[in-house]
Structure 1
Amino acid sequence: MATITITFDKRASNTTKGNKFMLVLRISHNRKTRYIPFNLHLKENQYDVRTGKIIGILNSVRHTKRTQKIFSDVDLWIDDNEGKIKNWEMDRLKSEIEQRFFNIAPSRTILNHGGKYLSRLRLEQRFSTASSYEDALKSLIKYRRHLKGIADTKIKTLYEIRGDKMLPLDEFKDLDMEISSIDYGFSRDFKAYLSNRYASKNTPAIFLRSLQAIMNDAGKTFEDLRNHKPLSNIKKKSHANAPAPLDMEDIHKIRMLELEPNTPIWDNRNYLLFMFNNMGMNFFDMAILKRFQFEDNRIKYFRKKTHYEGDYFSVLQSDESLKIIKHYLNGQTDNEYLFPIIPENTSLERLHKVNKGKVKIFNEYGARIAALAGIERRITTYTLRDTWTNIGLDMGIDIRKISSGLGHSSVQVTEKHYGKSVTTKILDEINAKITKVQGS
């Protein structure tokens, strides 16, 4: 149960000259404590904890009546609403008391609440998602710059990290805005700006969905924002990227390339073939493989992108993959990386950022490998996944088995991403049967 007391906040930051302390309403709830100031700095002998009386200052009687009334009103309200308050987070309880009894309007801005949302993601160690959501907030701030005619310079970060909190940097506070002021008209114009600014058709949809998630969370936190959903009527449909797979002849060309051993391009050719041999394994999943995950000639792992859904794989390694793995075995401990891609001791928070850089390097070497092999198509970290899928479909393997190997939640997801390939093959088969000359 939430409890309150009137006391002094004796932290150095709230102590003035002459040893005067801030008088505060102390709230205790769910093993957490918060303070709401009465905007009074007093010496310890100017407040009687037993009687609640303030003495020795101007208008002491009026201040006493005010603090005692607030205390009594808050205490009664907590008692009347005990059932629902027990399920609240501390910050929500503090905000409600500030608004109801101290006339402090909460700052429900997109950056403030966004910071709380990102802090939660970081505590859950979902650093990649937090980074993606911050990118969406950056795009909003850049649009605000655009409206004010401010130069569009790169934003490294919007927040200062203090403990487990993310606080907006002062330089962006003038560009912040109340969530309630983000209406349908603003959202529509913002989408138009995103569509014009980014070459990818998917980027606007990704950013808008991320911002909607933050605003939906604000609606769950603040009752007056519950029905404020300006982005709900803005189309955020993703466009499937057309797969650009290689074929088995291309894979053979890559295998036959004469590359100097133990060079970066040779390493990246190994990574490329390893990903292909492991059902188009995601680059990040390969980069963070630990030594203990290789056992009995199998690689065992949870797919990073969907590990919350329990996507576990145990893949028997081909002779080629075993040769690649054994080259990189150098006495690692069980918890050291299998491949020399991610530096050891990289923190979880930095892991996704380091991976981004490694992906860029892989894609650069992928282009060089394609050129050396005489392959006109681009080779990126996604190419091997598309290649494995397309070759499987060409071989007539049931799409349900392909879908399982890709870690998709359903066949429909596979059909959506590889719809053109699947549809083309099905139509070719149907057309061949219909147009086949009888007896030929």
Structure 2
Amino acid sequence: MATIKIAFDKRADHKTKDKKYPLVLRLGHDRKTRDIPFNLHLKDNQYDFSTGKITGIMNATRHTKRTRKIYSDVDLWMDEHGGEIKNWEIKKLKSEIERIFFKKSPSHSILNHGAVYLNRLRLEERFSTASSYEDALKALIKFRKSLKGEDDTVLIKTLFELKDGKLKVLDDYNDLDMEIKAMDYAFSKDFKAYMSNRYKSKNTPAIHLRSLQAIMNDAGKTYQDLKDHKPLSSIKKQSHENAPAPLSLEDINAIRKLKLEARTSIWDTRNFLLFMFNNMGMNHFDMAILKRFQFNDNRIKYFRKKTIYEGDYFSVLQNEESLKIIGYYLNGKNDDEYLFPIIPENTTPERLHTVNNGKVKTFNKYAKRIAKLAGIEKKITTYTIRDTWTNIGLDMGIDIRKISSGLGHSSVQVTEKHYGKSVSEKILDEINAKITSS
């Protein structure tokens, strides 16, 4: 049976400097409690729980009448609708009381609409994008925790739970949620400053801000009152060019010549590394989810997962080394089985991105050992292979437009942005050599 009472919210972070606490209507239902604030902060001696009388503040009599009336009206309503309420979750009970007795409209909050947006991405099987957008929301919640004086270093595994096929905000984060309209320019600037101080990568704040802007833009198209609310549009979200440390062709050859025991993890990693290099710096995720049917007529045919909605389709003729590597893993596999033993066959689409992230860590761990064995002082990761393919191509004088096409970039400008310094130096060196030699 649902219950209500008037109480103080005595959580430490809700206490004011003058030792006042929020007065709340406390709901109890299904062994859970929720508070609805009266928007009054009082000292212990300013509210009499036996009489419901408020003293010591301006308009005390009016506030007393208001809180008593709300309590009485809610109590009567709950008694009249008890049979229906017993089947509700406490979240719905709170929402209904807020709507009917506190005149609150349905919340247009960032987490609630984020759940709607991410659910749509899930249905489109864009799990990687959904994960990236949730990371941005996690950063926002950590910022909100820091503002409340709470520990913002605690790991947040997820903000949502799947109920009846839809994402719902976890109860633990409802109090940290906020109205989209409350995210004004000043708040956004402070949030950016917080991320710039917290994250090592200079690009992380820009990535998170773009993700939040996408969610807010969608909310603006959904709710009329948010149509013109675009505080993030005036916040700079500048990306910093990569500073790649690519391998040389000599480094790649040194890796090829290593004597490694067959059918071991480090041997597998060397095979995957060379396969990615031979396939135009293929992304690790794209390699991990290749199916047997995508290898045909000595070609690997696939859509690049990151830009599949842009129609980035590749058909790559395999060289002798890659054909040999593929041969190690065929073993009479069915068409729908993964080509390489990276992702377990029973992995659901929702978990593919998460599982791949774990496999990337394994790859990077063994790649570090490979670098040491080959006498390579540079750090090797999955990203290194893509940078290496690009850099070697530019060194060979291959037209940057062809390099850009091989990388799956939408334009040469994107390639120049990602590999700015390297590209600029090589183009200028080429121009300078031609001019000075004449």
TM range (shorter): 0.7 to 0.9
Q: Which residue of 1 aligns with 2:172?
A: 171
Task: Write the deviation string for residues 63-121 of structure 1: whole angstroms up to 9, x where unpaired.
Answer: xxxxxxxxxxxxxxxxxxxxxxxxxxxxxxxxxxx99xx96511111111111111111
Task: Write the deviation string for residues 160-215 of structure 1: whole angstroms up to 9, x where unpaired.
Answer: 21022211111111111111111111111110000000000011011111111111
* 1:280 match: secondary structure: coil
Give the TM-score normalised by structure 2. Answer: 0.76
203-212 or 155-164, which deviates more: 155-164
Q: Which residue of 1 aligns with 2:362?
A: 361
1:239 partner letter: H
Q: Is the 8 A contact 1:300 1:313 kept in 2?
A: yes
1:205 aligns with 2:212: no
Equivalent residues in 2 for 1:200-279 (5 A)?
A: 200-279=201-280
219-228 or 411-420, which deviates more: 411-420
2:312 partner letter: D
1:305 aligns with 2:321: no
1:109 aligns with 2:81: no
Measured in 2, the distance between the counterparts of 1:433 and 1:278 equals 32
Q: Is the 8 A contact 2:241 2:420 kept in 1?
A: no
2:393 partner letter: G
1:280: Cα distance to partner? Answer: 0.8
Structure 1 moving runs of 4+ over 3 Å:
38-43, 433-436
Measured in 2, the distance between the counterparts of 1:263 and 1:269 equals 10
Q: Which residue of 2 aligns with 1:334?
A: 335
Q: Which residue of 2 aligns with 1:149?
A: 149
Structure 1: gaps spanning 5 or more residues: 1-12, 14-37, 44-97
Task: Write the deviation string for residues 117-152 of structure 1: whole angstroms up to 9, x where unpaired.
Answer: 111111111111111111111111111111111112
Give the TM-score normalised by structure 1. Answer: 0.75
Measured in 1, the distance between the counterparts of 2:380 and 2:415 equals 21
Q: Is the 8 A contact 1:107 1:178 kept in 2?
A: yes
1:137 partner letter: L
Measured in 1, the distance between the counterparts of 2:389 and 2:331 equals 29
Measured in 2, the distance between the counterparts of 1:317 and 1:349 equals 30
Q: Which residue of 2 aligns with 1:195?
A: 196
Q: Is the 8 A contact 2:119 2:167 kept in 1?
A: yes
Does the C-alpha gap of structure 1 residues 42 and 168 become closer, same or farther in structure 2, counting only changes over 3 Å? closer
* 2:168 match: secondary structure: strand
Measured in 2, the distance between the counterparts of 1:392 and 1:434 equals 22
* 2:302 match: secondary structure: strand
1:421: Cα distance to partner? Answer: 1.9
1:407 partner letter: G
* 2:167 match: secondary structure: strand
* 2:314 match: secondary structure: strand
Equivalent residues in 2 for 1:32-431 (5 A)?
A: 41=81, 105-152=105-152, 153-431=154-432
* 1:231 match: secondary structure: helix
1:327: Cα distance to partner? Answer: 0.8
Measured in 1, the distance between the counterparts of 2:381 and 2:147 equals 36
Q: Is the 8 A contact 2:136 2:211 kept in 1?
A: yes
Q: Is the 8 A contact 2:371 2:378 kept in 1?
A: yes
Q: Is the 8 A contact 1:246 1:377 kept in 2?
A: yes
1:435: Cα distance to partner? Answer: 3.6
Q: Which residue of 2 aligns with 1:5?
A: none
Measured in 2, the distance between the counterparts of 1:412 and 1:165 equals 39
Q: Is the 8 A contact 2:242 2:420 kept in 1?
A: no
Measured in 1, the distance between the counterparts of 2:433 and 2:216 equals 52
Q: RMSD in angstroms over aligned alpha carbons?
A: 2.3
Measured in 1, the distance between the counterparts of 2:387 and 2:145 equals 39
Structure 2: gaps spanning 5 or more residues: 1-28, 30-76, 84-97
Q: Is the 8 A contact 1:123 1:164 kept in 2?
A: no
Measured in 2, the distance between the counterparts of 1:422 and 1:274 equals 24
* 2:382 match: secondary structure: coil
2:291 partner letter: K
Measured in 1, the distance between the counterparts of 2:231 and 2:434 equals 51
1:240: Cα distance to partner? Answer: 1.6
Task: Write the deviation string for residues 7-56 of structure 1: whole angstroms up to 9, x where unpaired.
Answer: xxxxxx9xxxxxxxxxxxxxxxxxxxxxxxx997499xxxxxxxxxxxxx
Measured in 2, the distance between the counterparts of 1:125 and 1:435 equals 54
Q: Which residue of 1 aligns with 2:43?
A: none
1:309 partner letter: E
Measured in 2, the distance between the counterparts of 1:113 and 1:304 equals 25
